[in-house]
Amino acid sequence: MSPKKLVDVKDLQVHFPVFGGVLSRKIATVKAVDGVSFSINAKQTIGLVGESGCGKTTVGRAMISILSHVSPDVQITGSIEYHFDEGIVDFVKQHPKSMQKYRSKVQMIFQDPYASLNPRMTVAQIISEPLLIHTKMTKKEIRDRVAWLLEKVGLRSSQSRRYPHEFSGGQRQRVGIARAIATNPELIICDEPVSALDVSIQAQVINLMMDLQDEFDLSYLFIAHDLSVVEHISDRIVVMYLGDVVEFGDAEDVYHSPKHPYTRALISAVPVADPKLKKKKRVILQGDIPSPMAKPSGCGFRNRCPIAKPDCADKKPQLIDRGKNQLVACPYWEEDF
C-alpha cells in the first residue's frame, strides 16, 4: 500500500515587498521563497535545512498560514494542499476566516521556547489556550487533559501552576510540545526546536518528539541549519538555498551521497569524523550567500558553485530525479566532480 500523503507543497513563492522613499513606494522585493515544492506523508518526518536566511522559517509559517498576520503585504503563490480526511484543502487559497477549522490540525514549535511562551501565563493556561479555541471541552476536561499532556511530555501535572521562568530551557520546550500536541494535530512544524538547548538536552527532546510521533501518528517538518541534526530523525531531507530547493531525497542518500554541489558543501561543514564522508572531496564555499533582494539569474547558487558553467546564468535548474527519488536541481551534477 502506498503511504498516505498529508501535504503537497507545489511551486510555493513567498515574496515580501520592500517600501521606501517619501511616498513609501515599493522599491524592491525579498524573494524569501522562490518556487519550492516537496511533500510530506502521514507519520513522516521531513528535515528542512539550509543556511540562515534561505527561507526555512518562511516555508514553515506559510504551511501554518500565519504569514499575512506577520506581514500583511506578503505575496504568496503556488499551493499548499493538505489531504485531510474531509477533503483536500489548499492553505494558500483559503480565506483567513475559513482557516479557523483547520488550525488545530497543523501546529508549530519554535526555537526559543521562552520567547514563544507568554511569561505572564501559567503552564496550565498556555497549554489550555488551543483547547479553549479549538474544542468545546469543559473546564474540568481541559484541566484533566493538561495534566495528562504534562505527564506525556515528561513533566509533572503538579507543575501546571508554574510560570515559564520557573522551568529550564529543555522543560520549557516540553511545555511548547505539550501545547502543540494538545489538539491532536496531524503535522507539527518544528522550527529549530533544539538549537537553543544544550547538546545533552537536545537528544532528550528529540527522543521525546520521536516517541510522541509514534504514539500519536504525527508528521513533522523539522527545520535546522545543520544536516547532522536532521539526518537520523528524518525520513527525507529538503535542502534549500536562497529560496530554492536544491535537493530532496531520502535522509540517508542526501547525507551519505549528496549530489547537489551545495549539499556537498553543507556536508563538508559537518565537523564529525565520519569515515564515509571523509572519502568525498571537501567542497568549501567561497563568498557569502547573496541577498534574496538581488538573486542571481538562472541558478541562485552559481556565483559560489565550484562546477558552474556559463549557461547556469540562463535558466533556473529544475529538480531532476537522479535515482531512488533523489531530486537534484543541477544539470551538471556528476558522481565525481
User: Residue 251: enclosing H or E segment and its boundaries?
Assistant: helix 251-256
Among 39, 41, 71, 204, binds ligand ATP (CB under 6 A): 71
Minimum gap (Å) between residue 191 Cβ and Mg ion: 6
Residue 131 vs 221, nearer CB to ligand ATP:
221
Which residues within the stretch 289-328 sit at the binding site for ligand ATP (CB under 6 A)? 292
Minimum gap (Å) between residue 77 Cβ and ligand ATP: 16
**Integer CA distances (angstroms), 41 to 129, 131, 180, 238, 323, in order:** 28, 26, 19, 14, 20
DSSP 134-187: H----HHHHHHHHHHHHHHTT--GGGGGS-GGGS-HHHHHHHHHHHHHTT--SE
Instruction: Tell me if residue 283 falls in helix, strand or coil.
Output: coil
Is 57 near Mg ion (CB under 5 A)?
yes
Is 35 near ligand ATP (CB under 6 A)?
no
Is 116 near Mg ion (CB under 5 A)?
no
Residue 49 vs 106, nearer CB to Mg ion:
49
Residue 12 vs 330, nearer CB to Mg ion:
12
| 83 binds, options ligand ATP, Mg ion, none, Cβ within 5 to 8 A by partner type | none
Instruction: Tell me if residue 237 falls in helix, strand or coil.
Output: strand
CB 246 within 8 A of CB 316: no
Minimum gap (Å) between residue 82 Cβ and Mg ion: 22
Minimum gap (Å) between residue 209 Cβ and Mg ion: 18
Among 9, 12, 30, 175, binds ligand ATP (CB under 6 A): 30
# binding residues, Mg ion (CB under 5 A): 2
Residues in the chain: 337
Is 58 near ligand ATP (CB under 6 A)?
yes
Minimum gap (Å) between residue 74 Cβ and ligand ATP: 7
Residue 314, C-alpha cell as written in the block: 540562463
Residue 86 vs 288, nearer CB to ligand ATP:
288
Residue 32 vs 46, nearer CB to ligand ATP:
32
Calpha distance 62→264 (Å, rounded): 28
DSSP 92-133: TTS-HHHHGGGGGGEEEE-S-HHHHS-TTS-HHHHHHHHHHH
Closest CA to 329 of 283, 264, 260: 260
Is 54 near ligand ATP (CB under 6 A)?
yes
The residues binding Mg ion (CB under 5 A) are 56-57
**Site residues (vs ligand ATP, CB under 6 A):** 16, 30, 32, 50, 52-58, 70-71, 225, 292
